[in-house]
Amino acid sequence: MTRHLLDRLIQSAVVLAVMSFVIYGLMGLMPGDPVDLMISANPKITSEDAERLRALYGLDKPLIERYANWLGAALGGDFGFSRLHAKPVFEVLIPALGNTVVLLGASFALSLLIALPSGIWAATRPYSKTDYTVNLLAFAGISVPPFWLALLLIIVFAVLLGVLPAGGMGTVGAEGLWDTLKHLVLPVATITIASVGGHTRYMRAAMIETLRQDYIRTARAKGLPESRVVLGHALRNALIPVVTIIALDFGTLFSGALITETIFSYPGMGKLIFDAIMGNDFNLALIALLFATVLTLVGNLLADIAYVSLDPRISYGKVRS
């Protein structure tokens, strides 16, 4: 187990290292460069000044060397300065990260709370009307464009009914828990609807597969009530593949956050990344993208741990007697 975890940690570190280089390289290909941005703010700068600035900031050096310098600083805790926010990157990142964790955490929990029971419910009545309906709704959830869903929710609840705010995180002058919650409803609903379909289908498929096993027949033959068979015997095994797939889907969840946060102007990581890329804020975009990568990698690692602890048959690196 420890050995396996170590392997996975090293793997994740490799992915992260490769991604940091790739993203760093891509940032260099974004339109405009930092010196151009300074020139645009100050027309008196001559081309010699620009060259001097380039040399000062090390922009005339080869990519590898610039990357090495950046990496050294980043590892030392210096993430640079955000151009858009005029603050150190780290100070911008942390509150946004907190907001996204709240948004994704709530959506993820809500999605599972709906998906697991309905997946199980549908699986215990395969090919029935109920199953059919659940499947139809699940497909609808998977296929709906999340940004359009968000627009529809805004039209219905903010424009037509006027009961919920169309965006932001709080009303000025009316702050409080209730106000915060009201601002969370539509973004959370968007991400939940977009992810609940996939979760339901995974749960249903895994449950149907498990219910066909011999030990389930044994449990039924012993005369156990159906609820014990399903929830006691089948669920634990059916959850194993579900946990893996759902955790691998964490990247998708984050993509949902980017769209949702951008539309609802919710100040989280997704909006931060989008604004940073659009606003040529290279330092911020770079670190925020890497943070998002770390988040998904950590999600995958957690899934791996859950996978092992749910399934007693899997015991990495241990010889069983």
Partner 1 sequence: MTTATNTLPPPKGVWRLTFERFIEHRLAVASALALGVMVTAALAAPLVEALIGPADAVNLLARFAGPSTAHPLGTDELGRDNLVRLLYGGRVSLFVGLTAALVAAVIGTLIGLLAGYYGGRLDALLMRFTDGVISLPMLPLLIVLAALDLGKLGLPQAWVESEDVSLYRIIIIVALAGWTTVARLVRSSALALRARPFVLAAHAQGAGAARIMGVHILPNLASPIIVATTLATGNVILLESVLSFLGLGIQPPIPSWGNLLTNAQELIWSAPALAFYPGVLIFVTVIAFNFLGDGLQDALDPKALKRY
Size of the site for partner 1 (CB under 8 A): 58
Q: In the structure encoding, which two tokens stand for residue 80, read together?
A: 């640079």
Contact 17, 67 (CB under 8 A): no
CA–CA distances in Å: residue 246 to residues 25, 115, 128, 239, 258: 31, 11, 26, 10, 18
Contact 189, 256 (CB under 8 A): no
Candidate ranges 52-60, 88-96, 110-118, 130-138; the one touching partner 1 (CB under 8 A): 130-138
In the stretch 242-281, what mask flags binding to partner 1 with x, by CB under 8 A? Answer: ------x-xxx-xx--xx--xx------x--xx--xx---
Q: Which of 72, 117, 145, 176 binds partner 1 (CB under 8 A)?
A: 145
Q: In the structure encoding, which two tokens stand for residue 62, read together?
A: 């080869």
* Encoded amino acid at 213, one letter: Q
- The reply on whether position 19 binds partner 1 by CB under 8 A is yes
Q: Which of 142, 216, 224, 310 binds partner 1 (CB under 8 A)?
A: 142
In 3-state terms, what secondary structure has residue 82? strand
Q: Residue written as tokens 């050096």?
A: 61
Q: Residue written as tokens 């509150």?
A: 95
From the list 151, 183, 163, the residue with the least C-alpha distance to 267 is 183
- The reply on whether position 190 binds partner 1 by CB under 8 A is no
Least separation in angstroms between residue 223's CB and partner 1 is 28
- The reply on whether position 285 binds partner 1 by CB under 8 A is yes
Q: Please tell me the distance from the alpha carbon of residue 296 to that of residue 105, in angstroms, as a whole number.
A: 13
- The reply on whether position 300 binds partner 1 by CB under 8 A is yes
- The reply on whether position 89 binds partner 1 by CB under 8 A is no
Q: Please tell me the distance from the alpha carbon of residue 73 to that of residue 60, in angstroms, as a whole number.
A: 18
Q: Which of 2, 31, 177, 221 binds partner 1 (CB under 8 A)?
A: 31
Cα angle value 11/15/16 (rounded, 5°): 115
Which of 89/273 has CB closer to partner 1?
Answer: 273
Which of 56/248 has CB closer to partner 1?
Answer: 248
- Provide the residue count of the chain: 321
Which of 55/278 has CB closer to partner 1?
Answer: 278
Residues lying near partner 1 in the complex (CB under 8 A): 11, 15, 18-19, 23, 26-32, 127, 132, 135-136, 139-140, 142-148, 151-152, 154-155, 159-160, 166, 205, 208-209, 248, 250-252, 254-255, 258-259, 262-263, 270, 273-274, 277-278, 285, 289, 292-293, 295-297, 300
